[in-house]
Chain A
Amino acid sequence: QVQLQESGPGLVKPSETLSLTCTFSGDSSSNYYWSWIRQPPGKGLEWMAYISNSGNTNYNPSLKSRVTISGDMSKNRFSLRLTSVTAADTAVYYCARDDSSTYFAYWGQGTLATVSS
C-alpha cells in the first residue's frame, strides 16, 4: 500500500521560505518521479517540481527561480523549499508519485500553507 504524507509549518511570514516534507511508504527503488503540486484556495492545480529516484529534477518554469526540490530516498522522503513567499503562495500543497507513466497515481492528503504576517 503506497502512502504519502505531507508535513509543513502551516503558517509562513511574507518574504520567508516555505519548507515542506513528504514522507512515503512503499517501494522506493523503481523509476518513480516524486512531485509537489499546489492548489490555492478555490483554484486549480499547479505542478511545481519533481525529483526522480535517481536524483534528476525538473521545475515548473514559472517557479524555477524560487523552488528547490531535494530528496533522501533511502529515508523515504523528499522536500520542497519555496523562497520569498507572498500571499499568492497560500495553498494546499500535495506530494504525488508518477510511476514513469506521466500521471499521478498516488497523492498525499495535502497540507495547507498560509502566508501571512
Chain B
Amino acid sequence: QAVLTQPPSVSGAPGQRVTISCTGSSSNIGAGYDVHWYQQLPGTAPKLLIYGNSNRPSGVPDRFSGSKSDTSASLAITGLQAEDEADYYCQSYDSSVSESYVFGTGTKVTVL
C-alpha cells in the first residue's frame, strides 16, 4: 500500500521537459525524511536515479534533477530522450506506525 502519491503517467516529446510529483504527508516527507527516485526500465530491477532529494549517483545524466518542499517532491527530466521511457518511483521513510520505507505509486513516462 503506497503512501506516496504520483501521477499515473506523464508524456512529452523528445527534447521537452517533464516533471513528476510525489506527494506525501507529515509522517514521511513532511517529517523531514529524504526523498529518493528510481527508474525502472521494462523487465528490469529499479535503478537508483536520485538520492537525498537532489543528488545524482555517478553515471546518472544531469538531465535528471530532484527537489523537495514541505510534504512533496519532484523529479524533472529535461531534454527528454527515447531511452527515458520507463516507470519512475519516489521513495521515502515513514514513521506513522513503525519506521519503514515507503514507495510512491509510480509514474509511467512516455516519449511521444
Range, interface on chain A: 20 to 34
Is residue B64 within 8 Å, beta carbon to beta carbon, of the partner chain?
A: no
**CB pair B36 A102 closer than 8 Å:** yes
CB neighbours of B36 from chain A (8 A): 102-104
Is residue B112 within 8 Å, beta carbon to beta carbon, of the partner chain?
A: no
For window 87-108 of B, CB contacts with A under 8 Å fall at 89, 91-93, 97-106
The chain A residue with its CB closest to the CB of B35 is: A103
Range, interface on chain B: 20 to 34
**CB pair B98 A44 closer than 8 Å:** no
Rounded to whole Å, the gap between the CB of B42 and the closest CB of chain A is 11
Is residue B15 within 8 Å, beta carbon to beta carbon, of the partner chain?
A: no
**CB pair B45 A108 closer than 8 Å:** yes
Q: Kindly state the separation between the CA atoms of A50 and B93 in the bound complex, as whole angstroms.
A: 13
For window 51-97 of A, CB contacts with B under 8 Å fall at 58-62, 94
The chain B residue with its CB closest to the CB of A110 is: B45
CB neighbours of B91 from chain A (8 A): 45, 103-104
Complex partner residue of A44 from B45, B99, B106, CB under 8 angstroms: B106
For window 19-67 of A, CB contacts with B under 8 Å fall at 35, 44-47, 50, 58-62
Complex partner residue of A45 from B44, B48, B57, B89, CB under 8 angstroms: B89
